[in-house]
Amino acid sequence: MTPLHFEALYQAEWRELETLLDRILGRKKNAAKDGAPVEGQRVAVLYRRACEHLALARARSYPAYLLDQLERLTSDAHQVIYQRREFGLEKVRCFLDQEFPRSVREHSTYVWIAAALLYVPTFVIGWLVYQRPELILSVVSAETAASYERMYSDSATAIGRAAEGDWMMFGYYISHNIGIAFQCFAGGLFAGVGSLFYLVYNGAIAGAIGGYLTERGHSGTFYSFIATHSAFELTAIVLSGAAGLRIGHSLVAPGRLSRVQSLVAATSDSAVMVSGAAAMLLIAAAIEAFWSSASWLPHPVKFAVAGASWIGVLSYLAFQGRSAD
């Protein structure tokens, strides 16, 4: 579809939305008094349609004047719809209920690629180290490997860590997890190569440790420790990597935009997904500090909660907010 055909097809909807916004905002003389009262539901429908058209126009690299028109229109409509709840609990509810899961689905191609880059090395390296445990020394030192065995032994008082308290570890996990996610996201600035590297690297490290501990007979303790918080942590890392790949793609293939314009658009486009990933990392840190490390909890209980967590996270991202799409 050519830009002219696209514009002709949807111009009537854009003009209707602009007219309604003029009446709400009183931007034209007597505009607020003209016609019947404005229906908020109609404005919301036209706003969602305009957002879809903007996404299509960006993906197809339509002319800048068309992108500017749609960006201005959607920005004005967003301010009208959310102006009274920009910083309130309703804004948070809207973000969690619609914006975040919808953003993940809109970037599904990047999400699937990021998931493959993380999980394929995890399983491949994990299997290789399980078959040949000495390969762990190619990843970590002998002392570090021995410390992993101690942390995940059945006699460990606090599984998966040293003797520090829960709150201290909570702060450490936040810093550590956000650091990894930031690497996967910010690596997109290097044409996506950085995001690709950090996803593969972290997947390989996780696989090597998992394969080694499994071969050493610590699978029950290790997997019961990681199973629950990994639903949030690994998913957040995948989403951060997906956002990085989105940025990298905008630099490699900017289309008709300049690279700076393309980068700004991609960063804005993926901001919602990154914000949601940050929230998931906070949840993961809390679970890891106060639940996963508890040695008194039976393994079956941890695995049951882990299964519910994975089902909940994946179902939320796949189905939440679809009625509003």
- Pick the closest to residue 246 from 281, 198, 195, 200 (CA basis): 195
CA distance 312 to 322: 16
Show the DSSP H helices in 135-192 as ranges: 142-151, 166-186
Structure tokens of 167?
């709150």
Show the DSSP H helices in 136-258 as ranges: 142-151, 166-186, 193-215, 219-252
pLDDT in tens, the chain (325 residues): 888 898 899 999 999 988 888 888 776 654 444 555 667 778 888 988 998 898 888 888 888 888 888 988 998 888 887 664 444 677 788 888 888 999 999 999 999 999 999 999 999 999 999 999 999 999 889 999 998 998 888 777 678 776 567 788 888 899 999 999 999 999 999 999 999 999 999 999 999 999 999 999 999 999 999 999 999 999 999 999 999 999 999 999 988 778 888 898 888 889 999 999 999 999 999 999 999 988 888 999 999 999 999 999 999 999 998 865 5
Across 205-235, b (16+ Cβ under 10 Å) vs e yields bbbbbbbbbbbbebeebbbbbbbbbbbbbbb
CA distance 202 to 119: 9
Is the domain of 117 the same as that of 258?
yes
Is the domain of 159 the same as that of 119?
yes
Q: How far is CA 16 from CA 4, 19, 21, 23, 256, in A?
A: 19, 5, 9, 11, 28
Is the domain of 67 the same as that of 137?
no
- Pick the closest to residue 206 from 277, 117, 109, 285 (CA basis): 117
Angle between helix 166-186 and helix 219-252 axes, rounded to 10 deg = 30
Rg (CA), the chain: 24
**Domain termination residue (choose one: 50, 83, 116):** 83
Q: Do the Cβ atoms of 239 and 276 come closer than 8 Å?
A: yes
| Residue 83: per-residue pLDDT | 62
| Residue 38: per-residue pLDDT | 67
Q: How far is CA 201 from CA 110, 139, 213, 229, in A?
A: 18, 10, 19, 20
| Residue 287: per-residue pLDDT | 95
CA distance 286 to 162: 17
Is the domain of 187 the same as that of 248?
yes
Is the domain of 46 the same as that of 181?
no
Q: What is the rounded end-to-end Cα distance, in angstroms, of the chain?
A: 23
| Residue 313: per-residue pLDDT | 97
In a domain, 88, yes or no: no
Beta bridge partners of 294: 158
**Domain termination residue (choose one: 49, 83, 117):** 83
Is the domain of 199 the same as that of 165?
yes
Q: Do the Cβ atoms of 191 and 119 come closer than 8 Å?
A: no
In a domain, 90, yes or no: no
**Domain termination residue (choose one: 51, 83, 115):** 83
Is the domain of 8 the same as that of 122?
no
| Residue 304: per-residue pLDDT | 96
CA distance 47 to 53: 10
Structure tokens of 298?
């039976």
Is the domain of 73 the same as that of 211?
no
Is the domain of 177 the same as that of 37?
no
- Pick the closest to residue 187 from 243, 134, 144 (CA basis): 243
In a domain, 218, yes or no: yes
CA distance 227 to 310: 9
The type of residue at 69 is Q
Q: Do the Cβ atoms of 184 and 241 come closer than 8 Å?
A: yes
Q: Do the Cβ atoms of 222 and 214 come closer than 8 Å?
A: yes
Is the domain of 70 the same as that of 107?
no
Is the domain of 223 the same as that of 128?
yes
CA distance 71 to 83: 17
**Residues spanned by the domain of 174:** 103-324
Tally of domains within the chain: 2
Is the domain of 73 the same as that of 109?
no
In a domain, 93, yes or no: no
In a domain, 95, yes or no: no
In a domain, 27, yes or no: yes
SS3 83: coil
In a domain, 94, yes or no: no
DSSP 63: -
Q: Name the strand (E) or helix (H) holding 112.
A: helix 108-131
Q: Do the Cβ atoms of 106 and 55 come closer than 8 Å?
A: yes
